[in-house]
Amino acid sequence: MENAFYITTPIYYVNAKPHLGHAYSTMVADSLVRLHQLMGETAFFVTGSDEHGDKIVQAAAKNQQPPQEFVDGISQCFQDLWPKLGIQNYRFARTTSPTHQKLVQDLLQKVYDAGDIYFGEFSGHYCYGCERFYTDKELENGLCPQHLTKPELITERNYFFKMSKYLPWIKEYITEHHDFIRPERYRSEALGMLEAGALDDLCISRPKSRLTWGIELPFDRNYVCYVWFDALLTYISALGGPEAQDFQRYWPGEHLVAKDILKPHAVFWPAMLKSMGLPLYKHLNVHGYWLVRDTKMSKSLGNIVDPLAMKEQFGNDAFRYYLFREMHFGSDASFNQEAMIKRINADLANDLGNLFSRVLAMNAKYFAATVPSPNAKLPQDTQIIDLGLSALDNFVQLFRHIKFAEALEALWQFVRALNKYVDSEAPWELYKQKELERLSTVMYVLLACMRKVAICLWPVMPHASCTLLQQLGQTASTNTPPVPDIRAEISCFGGLQAGIQIAKQSNLFPRIEVAKKEPREAKVAKDTKEAKDTKDTKDTKDTKEATLPNIDIETFKTADLRVGTIIEASKHPNADKILVLQIDFGPLGQKQILSGLANYYAPDALVGRQVCAILNLKPRKIRGLMSNGMVLTAESNNKVCLLMPEKPSSNGAHIA
């Protein structure tokens, strides 16, 4: 039988529209499916909507709708959202579907016939928010531990599942299988629940006199099924039931949940599966909360993050990257737009975007945008190749074991190393010195390594991965893995055919510029300029030579002065005196700066030279082209010369 991977998200409760937490869980499932597809496996996941219970009835009444009409609308919101977030390869299940309801009744009857369900009277503390009874031991200071509200004491006759019968076995299983629940902290928490002695048999029914919105018990029409016994079975009904071909092929799978529903998945669900005679799932993967201002998202607090709004503002791939990179799976993470912008600018614009931009531009200039043939490798080439193969292996192993932030950091160590390799090997110098054999090797190593990075990104940023691969002359689709098995990419270097045509440039991740409040020193500079402009001066050479107002050191510090290397120079198509310079500023990326140097320098003579520039000038358009800064020059006797560092400096170095 072929390798098959199956994972589920929570079956989302549809008493409100989806938010960031729902999006994150589903993106994680999507990315894991993509990774396993990238490893040559058949893979898909199940998500869906949990549509029964007290809270649904209350939400529907508040919305002045019948329950079915209400859940139809909210469920559709979830179904509409996933494709917009680039999520695919899933089945969407609904607990109100006839096939699911029939399977629930069939399995309930099976558990009942096995003697694991009994009828009895019970008095308990019922929390309507959790839709479950709590024992005295489970309450915290008399309050529901989840909602911190006092439950209602209810006495009624109900049906109970003999969960206590299976608790010792569950404890033993979790103890012996260390990666059954991961990360480890949640395995310890589940064992703590079992050792505390607070768990008992599980009430699995609600009388119709109190609640009619649910699946009717097959052995008593006066009762409906408890919402958790209903929803958990979706993981099986989505596969067609225990006798279905898909169940035989894909089960046991894995589950993905947030930490607030650990107990039903770590205790209720294993007991139910054991009672039904079905194999346990492989892993329960538990993540933390996304917080806003260190507080869990809540509609009442008005701090809900809309995933679609984030996608529209930052782009889907950048949004996905931030979520995976920022949250260490299992821990809580704070969602912050400012932090997202910093992460996008640092990792995507400066590191990855800068790498593709500068390498493709140089390759276009040196090899007419074709992949050169490599020659003999030097030790530094072998070193960067070995680092890359190791990074790929680390990425795959960490990612498949739900360590997403660590996996991306392993990959980014390679990306940063490639940028350093560009600086150390200095292709512009090799070109200038006509060392073309060495140049072709350096460029091939870079391009082939960039291809491997782009392949790894497919699970996290599918559209960006495809774009980068297409820029490297590869066939790529968001629906199909870019390679048959990524493990083959880990075992050897290469994979990029010499002689193929590739893109001349790349600008996939431009920096996000943030409007800032005008600092005090900038205001001083502005006031100084305004004072100067109000003077009655003439636009003559004498005026230019006139003494300017004094400024203080703080005003001078507002100028962002940097060292950069010119990697490309050409004449402005619409201005004879202006050169268009592409300048590499290292971690700040590549910038286009226009300068009136055409009468003093030939374009080719400037490539490879280091220059000094000011970068925080307001961008301006000159004859149709944008200039994002100004190179510093000295003018004397009607001649202009560039100001350059006395000794070579790292690109992006501050000028102080």
Which one-letter DSSP state was computed for residue 588?
Answer: G
User: Widest CA span of the chain, in angstroms?
Assistant: 104
Closest CA to 356 of 461, 471, 440: 471
127 is catalytic: yes
What's the rounded Cα separation, in Å, for the pair 653 and 417?
Answer: 18
How distant is the alpha carbon of residue 138 from its chain centre?
A: 36
Closest CA to 643 of 655, 625, 626: 655
Considering Cα of 494, then 495, then 499, then 505, what sign does the dihedral take? Answer: negative
Say whether the peptide bond before residue 549 is cis (omega within 30 degrees of 0). no
* Choice among 19, 165, 401, 432 that is catalytic: 19
* Choice among 150, 177, 178, 299 that is catalytic: 299
Q: Are 352 and 415 in contact (CB under 8 A)?
A: yes
Closest CA to 159 of 116, 210, 216, 117: 117
How distant is the alpha carbon of residue 180 from its chain centre?
A: 25
| b/e per residue 50-73 (b: at least 16 CB within 10 A) | bbbbbbbbebbeeeeeebeebbbe
What's the rounded Cα separation, in Å, for the pair 331 and 406?
Answer: 13
Q: Per the structure block, which two tokens stand in for 102?
A: 């029939």
Which region holds residue 654: left if phi is over 0, alpha if psi is between -120 and 50, else beta? beta
Say whether the peptide bond before residue 183 is cis (omega within 30 degrees of 0). yes
What's the rounded Cα separation, in Å, for the pair 353 and 346?
Answer: 10
* Choice among 137, 296, 544, 557 that is catalytic: 296
- For residue 625, the one-letter residue type is L
**Residue 607: C-alpha distances to residues 365, 429, 548, 603 (Å):** 10, 9, 34, 7
* Choice among 127, 203, 225, 612 that is catalytic: 127
**Residue 117: C-alpha distances to residues 100, 111, 133, 211, 417 (Å):** 20, 7, 17, 20, 61
77 is catalytic: no
434 is catalytic: no
296 is catalytic: yes
CA atoms within 13 A on the CB side of 365: 22
* Choice among 55, 100, 144, 311 that is catalytic: 144
* Choice among 84, 147, 529, 557 that is catalytic: 147
Q: Per the structure block, which two tokens stand in for 571?
A: 């004449």
Within 8 A by CB and 6+ apart from 612, the residues are 561, 562, 563, 631, 632, 642, 643, 644, 645, 655
612 is catalytic: no
What's the rounded Cα separation, in Å, for the pair 490 and 396?
Answer: 9
* Choice among 52, 100, 125, 130 that is catalytic: 130
> Would you name the residues annotated as active-site residues?
19, 22, 127, 130, 144, 147, 296, 299
